[in-house]
Structure 1
């Protein structure tokens, strides 16, 4: 059986295999990014790419790693986020700039592809979507993790494990000139398919 994980992020559809070893089967990061490194660290302005459903490569972000600043981002379809619009006041709004993972959907999906379908869940034929909701604060740090959609204990634990190891390289959402805290959903699909 092949185990799959499908992500729909920033309006781009990305299909990933999610079986052991996940990293060997995940898309190569070079396909999603281009830039210079010095002593193993990203320096200067990097371009990050995504692929449309027709397979066209597009620049989704330019990020200056020297200044830790987003230089360009490709507009994404209308999306609302549960947002802290004032201290302690949360509601669903469309920010002027959505929260973004540095590198875009392709790099985020690379990290999410570390998902391993638990053997116990496969034996019990457990399938479905687990959603881990994270809170991204005004500095782009992840401030909390919680399960908002569950499938079963082993799948839920695996989705939470992967969510926690994703690098905390987020650009915060903005309304006007102010960064705002938002909740962001990371969907993990567990599905069994026969060859």
Structure 2
């Protein structure tokens, strides 16, 4: 452990206190403190608007494991599982989020391997996978909502299932609820 030596002016006493090995880290998508390779404290996550300016989309306290701030979203109805196991659409305090927002999620959704069949047939487009996120932020029941075939649907599902459980569950008031999020995966051949 590292120690800092402090000198007390009043009594000339030397006191040693542990110092933190935290370092400030800034990326294109977020900034905050790192300690021993782990994110700690409140991190700010950013997105770029259409006009090119950078805005804070969420603040997440990695030490406490809770969302501190999120940029307001459209007031639409989202799918929520009711206590009897049925699905209903309702207004949420906030929908399912990925810690770090869309830019952080894109680091995972971009890990696609282009299927040989899709490349041979020049298949391109977007596959949308719906993911159920429980009240603890765990993902399950990944399903293709909109597919393009030629192996792309299966590849999008493979990648969706490999996304780490860094989900922030949807909330109605202060209560976490089971909800769904639709995640797009874009298949585009280079130079075409």
- Which band: TM-score by shorter chain? 0.7 to 0.9
Matched residue SS, 2:108:
helix
Which whole-Å CA distance do the structure 1 matches of 2:174 and 2:129 have between them? 28
Shift of the 123–70 alpha-carbon distance from structure 1 to 2, 3 Å rule, reads same
Q: What does residue 82 of structure 1 align with?
A: 79
- In the alignment of these two chains, the number of paired residues is 167
Question: What's the TM-score once normalised by structure 1's chain length?
Answer: 0.79
Alignment check: 8 A CA contact 2:78 2:92 kept: yes
1:97 aligns with 2:76: no
- Find runs of 4+ consecutive structure 1 residues off by over 4 angstroms: none
> Where does structure 2 lack aligned partners over 5 or more consecutive residues?
1-25
Q: Which has the higher helix share?
A: 1
Higher relative contact order (CA 8 A, sep 6+): 1
Which whole-Å CA distance do the structure 1 matches of 2:130 and 2:71 have between them? 23
1:146 aligns with 2:143: yes
Q: Structure 1 residue aligned with 2:46, among 12, 37, 49? A: 49
Shift of the 192–80 alpha-carbon distance from structure 1 to 2, 3 Å rule, reads farther
> Where does structure 1 lack aligned partners over 5 or more consecutive residues?
1-28
Q: What does residue 31 of structure 2 align with?
A: 34
Which whole-Å CA distance do the structure 1 matches of 2:77 and 2:163 have between them? 22
1:122 aligns with 2:119: yes
Alignment check: 8 A CA contact 2:99 2:168 kept: yes
- The alignment's C-alpha RMSD in Å is 1.7
Shift of the 193–80 alpha-carbon distance from structure 1 to 2, 3 Å rule, reads farther
Q: Give the drift of 1:46.
A: 0.7
**Larger of the two Rg values belongs to structure:** 2
Q: Give the drift of 1:80.
A: 2.8
Question: What's the TM-score once normalised by structure 2's chain length?
Answer: 0.80
Q: Structure 2 residue aligned with 1:162, among 144, 159, 164? A: 159
